[in-house]
Amino acid sequence: MEQQVLQIEILPNGPAVVYGTCTIKVGGEVQKIEKEKTFLCRCGVSKKKPYCDGSHKKVGFQG
């Protein structure tokens, strides 16, 4: 049985994209995410942290 490798992509001036099913522990709560792509905030201004809400575009995040 082949072990699945977690794939993460850092988008220039935007979020980190996690591909496939994953779990994220937020404030002690484990959330199971069953999506093709999950966008995680890197800019720090999202109102839905740890998820990206598109705010990075408004603030001109670079990184």
CB of 40 vs ligand FES, minimal distance in Å:
8
Contact between 52 and ligand FES (CB under 6 A)?
A: yes
Q: Report the amino acid identity of residue 59.
A: V
Compute the distance between CA of residue 13 and CA of residue 30 in angstroms, rounded to an integer: 28
Token pair in block for residue 59 = 């603030």
Contact between 24 and ligand FES (CB under 6 A)?
A: no
CB of 4 vs ligand FES, minimal distance in Å:
25
CB of 45 vs ligand FES, minimal distance in Å:
6
DSSP helix/strand/coil, 59 = helix
| Total residues belonging to the chain | 63
Binding residue for ligand FES, selected from 41, 50, 60, 62, defined by CB under 6 A: 41
